């Protein structure tokens, strides 16, 4: 049995709904970050005693590609969309790439429209295509566990994918498909203005950080781009295939927790200096 004092922070209602076996399984998967544990122990509204001092992470400048630059000077691909709902309506019948031929639903994304933390995956799978919601299959359930252990409620963050339509056979999206859908992702980011972004997997990393990036090399590093701090990590599906990746991913989410607690704000306006 895990020590109850090590329970990470999560909404009381959500935690209350979980059976004890599920709580134990989650705790055994991921060792809660000390800051999360201390916050869980602190009386509401008070500073957490015993919480470790937060250290500002080292942040690297990611290459600024033309698409991001265009976005910053407000060459908005969806100028009529002033809310996520309006953008979602515009994307509902999208045929910008061949992925529209096989989809059931455009899986737009979901979560807090004012989220400080945004997670970006690769593309919808069968469960997502059927439900219209991102990350609801086995990988999504694992992501929920990781978020929970890091002290984030799912409805506190925003979750989206690089491509919004399911690639046939769950193949990786082609570069041309990622490029076709990229303006939608950028517009989601423009509207949400997340201060922290986690790239789940290689495609999201190559789309948002650097097209030449290798996930095994850049994972766990913070990058600064377009007013956001972006951290690449492995995709939850990779953890299901290779459980040895759970530990590094958990280390990465501890960094996300710390950065979130430091209160880094989205730097809107001027381009990020290089
Ligand atoms: S993947 Fe994106 S660009 Fe391609 S059809 Fe779907 S919504 Fe449109």
Domain annotation covers residue 216 = yes
How many structural domains compose the chain? 1
Q: What is the reported pLDDT for 271?
A: 35
Nearest to 140 by CA among 152, 128, 153: 128
Q: Tell me whether residue 182 is in a domain.
A: yes
Beta strand pairing call for 222-225 and 228-233: antiparallel
Per 3-state DSSP, the chain is made up of helix, strand and coil in percentages (nearest 5) of 45, 10, 45
48 is a domain residue: no
Residue 192's domain comprises 60-260
Q: Is residue 47 part of a domain?
A: no
Residue 44 within a domain: no
- Report the pLDDT averaged over residues 214-220: 95
pTM for the model stands at: 0.80
The DSSP call for residue 125 is -
Classify each residue of 59-79 as buried b or exposed e, where b means 16 or more C-beta atoms within 10 Å of its C-beta: beebebeebbeebbeeeebbe
The Cα–Cα gap between 120 and 47 comes to 31
Band the pLDDT of 240: cuts 50, 70, 90.
very high
More confident residue, 59 or 153: 153
In whole angstroms, what is the distance from residue 75 CA to residue 160 CA? 22
Q: Which of 42-56, 178-192, 237-251 has the lowest mean pLDDT?
A: 42-56
Side-chain half-sphere exposure of 145, counting CA atoms within 13 A:
22
| 3-state DSSP assignment of residue 60 | strand
Lowest mean pLDDT among 42-51, 137-146, 162-171, 193-202: 42-51
69-120: pLDDT as tens digits: 445 444 567 777 899 999 999 999 999 999 999 999 999 999 999 999 999 9
pLDDT at 97: 95
Average pLDDT of span 231-248: 94
Q: Does a structural domain hold residue 21?
A: no
Split at pLDDT 50, 70, 90, the class of 33 is low
φ, ψ for residue 3, nearest 5 deg: -70, 125
Determine contact, residues 122/201, Cβ cutoff 8 Å.
yes
pLDDT of residue 262: 87
Instruction: Tell whether 39 is covered by a domain.
Output: no
Closest ligand 1 atom, residue 177 Cα = 4
Residue 106 Cα to ligand 1 middle (Å):
7
Question: Please, what is the angle between helix 175-192 and helix 84-91, to 10°?
Answer: 160
Residue 123: per-residue pLDDT: 97
* Length, in residues, of the chain: 274
At 137, give phi and psi (nearest 5°).
-85, -160
Contact assessment for residue 38 and residue 48, using Cβ atoms and an 8 Å cutoff: yes
The CATH number given to whatever domain includes residue 69 is: 3.40.470.10
What spacing in Å lies between the alpha carbon of 179 and ligand 1's midpoint? 9
- Residue ID of nearest Cα to ligand 1 atom 2: 181
Q: Ligand 1 pocket test: which of 132, 177, 188, 207 has the largest number of ligand atoms within 8 Å of its C-beta?
A: 177
Q: How confident is the model at residue 37 (pLDDT cuts 50, 70, 90)?
A: low
User: Per the domain annotation, does 64 fall within a domain?
Assistant: yes
């Amino acid at each position: 049995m895990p020590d109850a004092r090590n329970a990470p922070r999560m909404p009381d209602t959500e935690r209350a709904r979980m059976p004890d076996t599920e709580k134990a399984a989650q705790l055994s998967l991921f060792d809660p970050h000390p800051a999360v544990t201390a916050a869980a122990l602190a009386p509401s509204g008070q500073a957490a005693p015993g919480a470790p001092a937060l250290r500002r992470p080292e942040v690297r400048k990611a290459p600024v590609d033309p698409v991001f630059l265009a976005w910053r000077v407000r060459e908005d691909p969806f100028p009529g969309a002033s809310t996520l709902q309006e953008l979602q309506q515009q994307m509902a019948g999208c045929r910008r790439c061949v992925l529209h031929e096989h989809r059931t639903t455009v899986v737009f994304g979901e979560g807090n429209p004012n989220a400080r933390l945004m997670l970006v995956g690769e593309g919808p799978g069968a469960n997502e295509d059927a439900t219209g919601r991102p990350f609801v299959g086995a990988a999504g359930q694992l992501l929920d566990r990781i978020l929970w252990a890091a002290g984030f409620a799912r409805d506190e963050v925003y979750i989206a994918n690089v491509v919004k339509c399911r690639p046939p056979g769950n193949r990786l999206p082609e570069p041309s498909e990622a490029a076709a859908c990229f303006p939608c992702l950028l517009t989601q980011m423009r509207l949400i203005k997340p201060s922290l972004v986690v790239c789940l997997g290689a495609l999201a990393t190559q789309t948002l950080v650097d097209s030449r990036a290798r996930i095994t090399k850049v994972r766990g590093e913070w990058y600064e781009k377009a007013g956001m701090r972006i951290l690449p990590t492995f995709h939850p599906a990779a953890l299901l295939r290779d459980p040895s990746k759970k530990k590094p991913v958990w280390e990465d989410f501890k960094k996300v927790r710390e950065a979130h607690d430091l209160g880094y704000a989205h730097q809107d306006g001027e381009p990020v200096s290089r």
